[in-house]
Amino acid sequence: MSALRRITVIVGYEWRRALAKKSVLTLIILAIAVQSLILALYSRFAVDTMFLTEEVKPFMWILGVLQGQGLFVQLIAIIIAGSTMSEEYEHGTADILLSKPITKVEYLSGKFLGGFSLLALVEALTTVVGVILASWFFGPQNGLQYVPLIFLAIVYSTLIFFCLSFMFSEVLRRSTLTMLIALVILVASSITRQLLVQLYLTTEEYLYFYLSRGIPTWGANYFPSLLMRELMTIPSTVFLNLINDPLIPIEARIRGVSEAILVREALQQAAIIVAVYAIIFILVAVYRLLKSDVTKKTA
C-alpha cells in the first residue's frame, strides 16, 4: 500500500470518527439555524428602511456567508481538531493505529487532512446555504461569481484555530482540556483585540494598531471580508459593515489615503498572519509526535 493510500485510509477513518460526535453535528445544525434566523429577521424587519435599501439587497449574500465566520465556524474548527489526536490517546487506539505499517508523519497527515477536509465541507455547506437564503429572502444577488473565492478565503482563515486546537490535541493529549484552552484563547483574543482597538482610538499610538492585527482572531475573522472588498465594490450599510474591519475607515482618515489601499495592505497582512500561526502550530504538533512516546493510554 502506498503512502498516499495509507493517508487516504486515515482521512476516511477521521471523517467517520468526527461525524459520530454529537457535538459536531449539533454545532453544524445550530450554525445553519442561526444563519437562517438572522437573514429571516433582516428580511422581515429591515426591508425598505434606510439600512436595507434596494441597492443593498443584491449583496446580502455576503452577510449570509460571512456573518457566522467569527463564532460558529471557529467553534466547529476547535471541536473537530480538538479531539483529532487526543481521543486516540484517551481511548488507547493510537497504539493500534501506529502498530500498522504507517509512519508517524503519514498518521499525522491523515488525521490533519481528514479533520480539515471535514471542516471545509461544513464551510461549503454554510456558504451555499447563505447564498440560497439571501436569494430567497432578498431576490437575485450580484457578484456570485466570487463565491468560490470567498469560500476558499473562509477555509484558509480557519487554519489558525484549527491548527491551534490540533496542536494542543497532540501536545496535551486531553480532548476536554484542549477544547477548553482553545476556546479561552478564542474569547481572550476577541476581547484583547477590542481593548487594543479602543486604546488605539484613544491614544492614536500605532503600537496598539499593529498589536491588534497580530491577534489571532483578526486574521481569522477578517481575511474573507478583506478579500471580498478587494474583489468587488459594495454599497456601505450598517449590515454589511458588521463584517468589515472597523479600523480601516478610521485609519484612512488619519493617514489621508484611500480605503482601497488600506484594504489591500490589510489583506496581505492577514494572509501572512494566518500562514505564520498555522505553520508554527503544525510544526509544534509534528515535533511533539516525532519526539515523544505514543504507546501509553492516558489516565
Domain segments of the chain: what residues? 3-291
Render the burial of 130-162: b for 16+ CB within 10 Å, e for the rest. bbebbbebbeebebeebbeebbebbbbbbbbbb
pLDDT band at 138; cut points 50, 70, 90: confident
Could you report the per-residue pLDDT of 108-133, keeping only the tens digit for each?
A: 999 999 999 999 998 999 899 989 99
Q: How confident is the model at residue 49 (pLDDT cuts 50, 70, 90)?
A: low
- Lowest-pLDDT choice from 13-17, 55-59, 69-73, 125-129: 69-73
Amino acid code (one letter) for 103: T
* Distances in whole angstroms, Cα of residue 39 to Cα of each of 53, 66, 121: 15, 12, 22
Please check the confidence at residue 278 and state whether its pLDDT lies above 90. Answer: yes
Do the beta carbons of residue 208 and residue 183 sit within 8 Å? Answer: no
Strand partners for 47: 52
Longest dimension (CA), the chain: 64
Residue corresponding to grid cell 429591515 = 46
Residues 6+ apart with CB under 8 A from 25: 19
Q: Residue 299: pLDDT above 50? A: no
Indicate the angle between helix axes 247-255 and 175-203, nearest 10 degrees. Answer: 30
Quick one: cell of 190?
A: 476577541
Region label for 196, one of left (φ > 0), alpha (ψ between -120 and 50) or beta (otherwise)? alpha
The pLDDT tens digits for 192-223 are 998 998 898 888 788 888 898 899 999 898 99
